[in-house]
Structure 1
Amino acid sequence: MSPKSLTQDVESSYSSLEVLNQLKLILSHELFNNSAVLSNFLKYIVEETLAGNLKSLKEYTIGVNGLGKKADFNPQIDAIVRIHAGRLRRLLAEYYNGPGAQDRILIEVVKGSYVPVFSQRHSREDLPMILSPSLNEIRHITLSKVSVAILPFRNLCPTSDHQYFADALGEEFTRVFSASQEFSVIGHHSTLKHAELHTDLHTIGLKLHAQYIITGTVMKDENHFRITVGLLETDLRTQLWSKVFEYETKVGFLQVQDETIQDVYTALGGPFGFIVRHSALTSKTISEDSIAFDAALYNYQFQTNFSFFSYAKTRKVLEVILQSNPQFPTALGMLSELYLWGHMLGYPTVEDPVSTSLRLAHKARNIDPLSKYACFSFLWASLYTKGNESIQHEIDQLLNQNPPATLDAAKFATLLVWGGHYDGAETLLEQAIRLHPHYPWSFDLALGLLCFKDGRYAEALEIIDRISVTDVYLVDLLEIVLLTKSGSPKEAKFYLNTLEENYSFIASHLKTYLSNFLLDKALVDEILEGVREAHEAIR
């Protein structure tokens, strides 16, 4: 689902009355009946939006008018609005994934805004490819990658003295993007002939069979370098992204090159970058009987829309991929990680999931020693078979000898947290979260655990409230403990009921599940003690 703007939806798709009826339907459900605070929050922001009072949807006005805070409420000191906004996002996701799964009108509160977004549930043919087919409709799976062409950077300097620098940028962009397993890269030298023959980027893209084109320019005056980089989509002839970089001339060429490429790759590349995200949201069904699946796109959808349904669907697709191509290292690494998540979260998975994951990851590494998916899942499975000391040294080597991209480094940092090695993990996680707007939810889980371990309960609660995934008992569990530690045991009661009703088996074997996931026994004991405190406070 791609939410449209409020104006488009209310004016052209359905009336404000229909939105209000949907609001009443949501608020009448027991999920919201049990939380007057979140009901009032949602009611206030929806009604204000429909009335056109978008400017009033700020932290202060929501706190005072929506949550009943006093006039001296200071959102810089009290994070209650941000905390409840996170809970509201998660509760809405739970509603639409369950009782509201067939509702036509969707109400969402996206991260970074308090203005609700209204949209209409689309018919299946309008959905992105990765959401449309049911499992029994899979006829054919291709292992295509997203194709990206790196065009030569144009030298716009007054003389040709810096042509070498423009050429070097193109070559280095080719090298860096080629290392990404999500892309099939058409390099700088291969595109040179087409760039000389054609000026229309759409034509160049079609000639090269490239879905996306990265292009740019280099300029220099007496005191400054200016580098522009843009990303275009071939089919729609649309520029999707651009950025301008400026440096003083005293900065060395290599530093300018490295910083520019690192910034661009962080934004566009990798499994959670803009290119994969855009592909995941816009890919379409090829024909009735032939559906193309890209493993990277499915993995993106699973990691960013984490639920039991997305887990089951992604697992099935990856298993089908490997039936037709058992030597596909990316799918092997992804499935290995998926089995581990299933094991840790109590989802149905294979027999002996840790050993199976280790075997799949080992096979993937033998096929492609540079596979980052295989490397991550191999280290994660090794954490539970060999102990945290065995992987600590290998992770340190990966981080120090060959510094990975910020997202990859942060994924390794989550393993440090699961294993009880905390030094340096917080910095890596915060850096990735700052640079990547669509980072995996597990980064917030790891960062929240770090804050909890250090006794920073209010900060941990704010971080955990950013997680909007459903069907993850750990989120509800940490809400219970952190709300109790923060002096709000009555609010913890809602999450305690959710834990016991939706995860009854896990709740009765909580120590076992936590110990399977977290190797720091002291941290596990502290979480369990927090649950006991919550029970006592609620009695």
Structure 2
Amino acid sequence: MIHDTNDAIPHQLIHDALERVISSREIVNSDRKKRFLQFIVKETLAGNADRIKAYTIAIDVFNRDSSFDPISDPVVRIEAGRLRRCLEHYYLAEGAADRLQIIIPKGSYVPQFVMREVAAPTLLRALDDDKQSTSERLPEIVPAEAEFSQAPVAATSSYQPPGTAPSRVPLLKRPRLLAGLCSLLAILTIALAGTTLFQRYQVSVSSRAVPSQVPTLMVLPFENDSSDPAQNMFAKGVTEEVIGALILFKNILVLGADTSFQFRTETALRDAVPNVPIDYVLKGSIDRTEGQIQVNAALLRAADHQYLWSGSFRKDFTSKSMLDLRRDIATQVALILVQPHGVIDKAELQNTVGRPSESLTSYECVLRTREYWRQPNAEMHKQVRTCLERAVRIDPDYADAWAALAFIYTDEARIDFNPSAERPDPTLTALEIARRAVALAPDSPLPLQALGIAHWLRREPALSIAAYEQARVLNPHDSDILADLGRAYSLTGDWEKGIPLIREAFDRNPAQPTWYRLFIALYHYVNGQYAEALAQAQKIGTPNLVYTHVVLAMIYGQTGDRDNADYEVDEILRLYPNFGDKAVFEFERRNIDPAIISRMLDGLRKAGLDMDPDREVANEKD
């Protein structure tokens, strides 16, 4: 229900909603967004909605002078668009349970206030329901404290990695607490010194919630190489958009826009704050010629200024397309540089080549996990598992390490890699530590992905999809999230949702793990498009995974290619000797729709795989 200020919503309720938003992770570190939202809400409540125009906002919020022209200076439109996105993000994630919602309609700056009669279904509510049912089943294994928390605090858990004693963690091995004490000491130092310089820098990086080994990136202000001074504003906007897109990815620490515009160069920042960590520098420029805009960007390693990547983006330029252009270019840059398997991942991974697991940092163990995910094999699984178990002992508050370990444990059940007597039910252990990871970092996508795969293998597809959807809210650009969500939708029979997501993942990231093509191949197979299915299956490229050969055998069985079908059946039995007897069980525990299973079994029988005649698909005849 949408209310104007004349409606009977108590003003205090609106003020409380405003305070929750400006204190949220979305806005708390942006004075500009806070001032904007406070101004338009308070003016509306004061009955001055007719005063909320671009001109008054520019003067009262952004300190423009009386000569401000909203046509030549789009600052208000730009900031309003960013604020709308922040509000949408907040109410999808952190504020999902809020009863009153503040909305800024497109085409207007006057806010509206929405009372939600029933809170929208969210992952938090789904997990609360799951908590009750899980506690009933396993009261001694999954304690309530291991559940999700809205606050990023460490959750207690009955699980301890091998070799970990259930004792209190020493101060020096509690990076969150130590970081907090260090921040307090820094503030006291600032007060004594009478300067705010380091404080400003600290604000830009204060949201860091990962070990110090995570690389740090500084984005230098993009230069205006055109002869038109009016493009200075566009160059600044590109810089801010690029930083905003990069920040969505949690595998790197990106210094804030205030730091970039205050210091402008890496050297200036190091001179002001000598111990600031900077691992990578992104610089760029814009040039406008003949109705087109060209944006050039380059990534350098800070230690030796070696160029690791450079790229150019040229697009048609109009005043109407300006905002979309900046957003599109920023997204492309972010995807190339910091998404999984991107330029920085590869550069960081190269530093670990040839080094034993025991010498790797916690962050480097997580990097190795992403490399394992591209080409899963039993030997690398074992190495990464050892590395991550050590990582969570060293950095028990590092959420991504717990999440990565959950992925590794699920593969003990999912593809039978290195099963351990310590974990008779590895999916349960994975679920428990995935919850711990989410409690440590509720705004990080990787723990939610781990939660998704754990629920998936526990035959809880609705909870799995909810976790993936929540991860997509946090970072809609991450190709791994898109592909995992697409897989889940596809296998449950919702091809219309699933296949476009997987294809988008490959469009966004050409380095996407090739085994996701298995699901596109399955889609074509189910629809009788065997040539298209074979073309996708031949690109999977994971010969040590049994399902690569399962899909190929099904296709060859349907097309009557006896020689290739015989070869693929032999490979299936080499990797999984009694797969024929277990096929229905294996398909069902992966939540594959019964109609899809029936089509898969038909192809395998035609390929010559001996199947268990007594094992029927659940609901096959429905």
Q: Where on the TM-score scale, by shorter chain, does this alignment land: which range?
A: 0.5 to 0.7
Find the residue that maps to 1:504 and give its secondary structure.
coil
Q: 1:309-339: per-residue Cα shift (whole Å, max 9, x none)? A: 1112112211111122233210111222222
Q: Which residue of 2 aligns with 1:241?
A: 309
| CA distance in structure 1 between the aligned counterparts of 2:563 and 2:357, rounded to whole angstroms | 52
TM-score by length of 2: 0.58
In structure 1, give the amino acid aligned to 2:278. A
Q: Which residue of 2 aligns with 1:167?
A: 236
Larger radius of gyration: 2
Aligned match for 2:414, one of 344, 351, 368: 344
| CA distance in structure 1 between the aligned counterparts of 2:447 and 2:218, rounded to whole angstroms | 26
In structure 2, give the amino acid aligned to 1:424. K
How much has 1:225 moved relative to structure 2?
Answer: 2.0
Q: 1:210-236: per-residue Cα shift (whole Å, max 9, x none)? A: 332211112224622221111122344
Q: Which protein is richer in helix relative to its size? A: 1
How much has 1:395 moved relative to structure 2?
Answer: 5.2
**Contact (CA 8 Å) 1:457, 1:482: kept in 2 or not?**
yes
Any residues of structure 2 matched to 1:64-463 within 5 Å, and which?
144-192=213-261, 195=264, 209-221=277-289, 223-250=291-318, 251-283=320-352, 290-293=359-362, 294-349=364-419, 350-385=423-458, 387-392=460-465, 403-463=476-536
Q: 1:481-500: per-residue Cα shift (whole Å, max 9, x none)? A: 11121221211212212222
Find the residue that maps to 1:268 and give its secondary structure.
helix
How much has 1:284 moved relative to structure 2?
Answer: 5.7
**Contact (CA 8 Å) 1:364, 1:371: kept in 2 or not?**
no
Find the residue that maps to 1:299 and give its secondary structure.
helix
How much has 1:190 moved relative to structure 2?
Answer: 2.3
Q: Which residue of 2 aligns with 1:128?
A: none
| CA distance in structure 2 between the aligned counterparts of 1:517 and 1:337, rounded to whole angstroms | 15
**Contact (CA 8 Å) 1:473, 1:503: kept in 2 or not?**
yes
In structure 1, give the amino acid aligned to 2:312. V
| CA distance in structure 1 between the aligned counterparts of 2:413 and 2:308, rounded to whole angstroms | 39
Q: Which residue of 2 aligns with 1:490?
A: 563
Q: CA distance change for structure 1 residues 266 and 401 in 2, over 3 Å: closer, same or farther?
A: closer
How much has 1:153 moved relative to structure 2?
Answer: 0.8
**Contact (CA 8 Å) 1:225, 1:249: kept in 2 or not?**
yes
Find the residue that maps to 2:217 and give its secondary structure.
strand
Stretches of structure 2 lacking an aligned partner (at least 5 in a row): 1-172, 174-209, 611-622
Q: CA distance change for structure 1 residues 536 and 514 in 2, over 3 Å: closer, same or farther?
A: closer
Find the residue that maps to 2:376 and give its secondary structure.
coil
How much has 1:142 moved relative to structure 2?
Answer: 7.1
Find the residue that maps to 1:471 and give its secondary structure.
coil
Q: 1:505-524: per-residue Cα shift (whole Å, max 9, x none)? A: 44442222222224312222
| CA distance in structure 2 between the aligned counterparts of 1:437 and 1:283, rounded to whole angstroms | 23
Find the residue that maps to 1:218 and give its secondary structure.
strand
Q: Which residue of 2 aligns with 1:24?
A: none
| CA distance in structure 1 between the aligned counterparts of 2:588 and 2:343, rounded to whole angstroms | 36
Deviates more, 1:318-327 or 1:285-294: 285-294
Q: Which residue of 2 aligns with 1:510?
A: 583
Q: Which residue of 2 aligns with 1:32?
A: none
| CA distance in structure 2 between the aligned counterparts of 1:285 and 1:194, rounded to whole angstroms | 38
In structure 2, give the amino acid aligned to 1:439. Q
How much has 1:355 moved relative to structure 2?
Answer: 2.0
Q: CA distance change for structure 1 residues 319 and 232 in 2, over 3 Å: closer, same or farther?
A: same
**Contact (CA 8 Å) 2:472, 2:478: kept in 1 or not?**
no
Stretches of structure 1 lacking an aligned partner (at least 5 in a row): 1-139
**Contact (CA 8 Å) 1:307, 1:470: kept in 2 or not?**
no
How much has 1:425 moved relative to structure 2?
Answer: 1.5
Count of residues in correspondence between the two structures: 399
In structure 1, give the amino acid aligned to 2:533. A
Q: Which residue of 2 aligns with 1:532?
A: 605
Q: Which residue of 1 aligns with 2:545?
A: 472
| CA distance in structure 2 between the aligned counterparts of 1:288 and 1:302, rounded to whole angstroms | 13
| CA distance in structure 1 between the aligned counterparts of 2:507 and 2:266, rounded to whole angstroms | 41
In structure 1, give the amino acid aligned to 2:436. K
Q: 1:412-467: per-residue Cα shift (whole Å, max 9, x none)? A: 11122233332222112122213322112332122122222222222112212112
**Contact (CA 8 Å) 1:202, 1:234: kept in 2 or not?**
no
TM-score by length of 1: 0.66
Q: Percent identity?
A: 18
Q: 1:216-262: per-residue Cα shift (whole Å, max 9, x none)? A: 11222462222111112234433222222223331432111111011
**Contact (CA 8 Å) 1:476, 1:496: kept in 2 or not?**
yes
Q: CA distance change for structure 1 residues 419 and 292 in 2, over 3 Å: closer, same or farther?
A: same
Q: Which residue of 1 aligns with 2:63?
A: none
Q: CA distance change for structure 1 residues 163 and 205 in 2, over 3 Å: closer, same or farther?
A: farther
Find the residue that maps to 1:410 and give its secondary structure.
helix
Find the residue that maps to 1:261 and give its secondary structure.
helix
In structure 1, give the amino acid aligned to 2:427. V
Q: 1:169-207: per-residue Cα shift (whole Å, max 9, x none)? A: 2223222222312102233432456545859x9999998
Higher relative contact order (CA closer than 8 Å, sequence separation 6+): 1
**Contact (CA 8 Å) 2:391, 2:401: kept in 1 or not?**
yes
Q: Which residue of 1 aligns with 2:117?
A: none
